[in-house]
Structure 1
Amino acid sequence: MKFVVSSTDLLSHLQAISRVISNKSTLPILDNFLFDLKDGKLVLTASDLEVTMVTSLDLENSEGEGIIALPSRILLETLKKFPEQPLNFDINMENFAVDIVTEKGKFSVVGQNGEDFPELPELDADKSSNLQVPVDLLQVGINKTLFATADDELRPVMNGILVELSQESMTFVASDSHKLVRYRRLDAKTEFEASFILPKKPAGLLKNVLPKESGDVVVEFDDKNAFFTLPNYKLVCRLVEGNYPSYNAVIPQDNPYKVIIDRSEFHNTLGRVSIFSNQASNLVKLKMSNNELTVSAQDIDFSISAYERISCQYEGDEMEIGFKSGFLADILDNLNSSDVILELSDPSRAGILLPFENGENEEELMLLMPMMINV
């Protein structure tokens, strides 16, 4: 089996799928990339059993066909050192010896039998659903919610993004029980109602490859697996099993206190003041009074404190609430609007942050649980 491939083309495709490969794999074959040559097309696969990613290259020059697993670390490290040039792969399918021949040299490795590589799961036809989603819509949905997923071994359902499909909208939800994000698109609808929980790792992989793609993503899923088929990549992952908590129940509906504030000014002030907060709690206090927001923090142990006032739109009773500064900064980072609305009911209930202006066909809501203020 022989083929010629561009070194930079091969490297870019392998790098994109290499993030799948786990350092803690129990199957040695999974430390390899799977090369499958057939009809002048080279299909490349990486897997950790839970997540599998596939991409392909059209070759102008190839001979024979076959399937072989090649060591990922050696391949990636070698390809990174090559300038752009054609690489001639000469593979002996009897002993899996591989010669990579360049204009000036030869690099030899030994692969493994590609037949030992795990096969892709198959969807249950009776339980499967499918839809087409624009690439940019899926990309925004993941970008808006991935930061709010949890790392909770006891509640694995919180470690992914809930994707809900209905006749009205497509909704992305993530929460780590401190913060919650709900991003809804009214221009993505399905004839059926369904939902699945996309784990954090494949969501991160999609976040990396979606900007390289255009057009639509074909999403197919059943109760165990999901397939995301893009023009140049295919990602298959095992879904998180279980029921996502009823997130709408924790969103306060009646919030009489509303602050409208410049997002970047708020974010910059928070960044300066939070340096003076207690390192263990990261508590910052927000005090609202007539058209003014005071952000303050202190660390009694080191006798440091800071406060800064910002102009805002606020008419109502004076109120003070505490938040963890890192979580609040994360939320402000992920709101794109120039002004944000902070909705509050009382210091013991969650605060809601909304963009002052939603994009067309989108609704965005971010929620943050308060911290107790020690008076």
Structure 2
Amino acid sequence: MNFSRLVLPGITMIAVTYGLTRFSYGLLLPNISDDLDMSPFISGIISSLFYLSYCFAIILSTVLTTNKGPRTMILTAGTSAFLGLLIMGVSPNVWIIGLGVLFAGASTGFVSPPYGASISLWIEKKKQGKANTWINSGTSIGIALSGAGALILASEWRLTYFIYAIIAFFALLWNAKVIPQIGSNPHVTFEKGKFSFRGVEGAKPLIICSTTLGISTAAFWTFSIDFIESTSSYSDWQFSLFWIIIGVFGILGGFSGSLIERFGLPFAYKWGSFIIGMASFILAWLPEQWLVAYTSAALFGVSYLFITGVLMVWGIRVFITNASLGIGTPFLLLAVGQVIGSLFAGMFIDLLGFSLTFVIYGFMGMIAMILGPKEIKK
């Protein structure tokens, strides 16, 4: 298959499911909380539903992609994103928005493994790393677009979700047209029921680090906008700009593959984890100063997308016979950490305040750095 024919709709679907459907919640949260009268604790519970549904969906997606091929799960992801956004747009209370969040979160779990499989099936081997990197960059593009959307629509979060739902519908149609059936005799097959660990050193650190990183990033994704809003130093357009900066700088995270190639996986991982932790520390330092806050957003954006690229490469090297499993495993564990992190972040903010909570989560990033991998052979 032509490189751009697969990659462009892939970028679009990732932008929809991750950027518009999942991570836009943190940007829209202050207005949602005001309209639906949600406390930080309730906001944290609702946010954890994104990651909880993601966990179940990515397990299901990994299994079904391995057995049935990627098309069904990609279209399921698009449908789930569309329904989630639509339900969130009509939500009159926390119960309905929670239902929408379950569909929205599931879409991100459904979508990641089948694109890894699609690349293995239909992109020539020498271009597969580039294809994975580009498709993964869709997250940053979606985050930047969600920030731009909020900038234009200001406090109209319901209308914002309706517009995102329309975009999700067109992304679904595009992928339905492009992604082929796997066929009866594909030129690539996946080994089923074999995890292919390269020894415990390959699998155990991946599990620990992915989970710890998930915990360390949860507060920033869910509460960074709430944090800077609490200072009363920003207008609505400045909140949107904060989110746009996360997305724009996240695109630079696409260079993770090149950095791994040049300096090795442990080096890339440790720097990515360190910068994630520093982003939370910096925001906790002077949240009322826009230059400090925007620097924090830039560091978080570039490091988060960078580290997901690193985890993707690490997972594929551990699960060497199954690309969908290699991507699905660290992304699942990242989400498990984010479930835990979101639940505790809301509690900590109620008890300790924003600044101390972000310091705690900054230290989690440093712990993740210390627990990083040793070199894994290609």
TM-score, L = length of structure 1: 0.22
Higher helix share: 2
Q: Which has the larger radius of gyration?
A: 1
Larger RCO (CA under 8 A, 6+ residues apart): 2
Higher strand share: 1
TM-score, L = length of structure 2: 0.22
